[in-house]
Copies of this chain bind each other. A is one copy, B any other.
Amino acid sequence: MDNLQMAPIIIGKLLNISGMLQRHSNNITQPFGLNQQQFTIFFEIANAGKVKQKDMVNRLLLEKAHVSKVVKKLHKMELITITTSDEDKRSAWLAPTPEGKKILKKCRGEFRKWHKEWTEAFDDKQLNSILENISHLQAVFEDKLIGGNL
């Protein structure tokens, strides 16, 4: 099979896999009142400790409008605090609340269970190879799709 025949199959499978992943991730995060994307944003906030919306947009390559709405939701759920900064009054610092940290820990535990389960089907070498391949793909697509033209 030559490269051009493989390309659409690879893309198709990636889209298919991510559909399954999203649906499953949603199922994991749903009990916590969040979906996968929302949880990712929450997770990034907690991981960074103190960030602005702008950072989320840059790091996760999401729509700023979308991030804004999710931040609102997280705040309403009292999972994060929003502290207006003095240096730049346009933006505010985001940080997880103690309650938020608790939720996060629980949810990460659920994810860990699942990860434990599916990684059983692979050995170390395979996982390393997968990680390497996917990182390469990610770098190329980021370059071609974001940096490149669009």
Contact = CB atoms under 8 A, between A and B. Distances in A.
A118 B131 contact: no
A3 interface: yes
A118 to B, nearest CB: 5
A131 B6 contact: yes
A30 to B, nearest CB: 11
Nearest to A23: B145
Interface string A95-117: 00000000000000001100111
A68 interface: no
B14 A134 contact: yes
B20 A18 contact: no
A139 B150 CA distance: 32
The 9 lowest CB-CB distance pairs between A and B, nearest first, are: A18-B18, A7-B115, A121-B140, A130-B133, A3-B119, A13-B134, A20-B141, A24-B145, A7-B119
Contact of A130 (B23, B27, B118, B137): B137
Contact of A118 (B124, B128, B144, B150): B144
Nearest to A28: B150
A8 B111 contact: yes
B8 A14 contact: no
A143 B121 CA distance: 10
A3 B150 contact: no
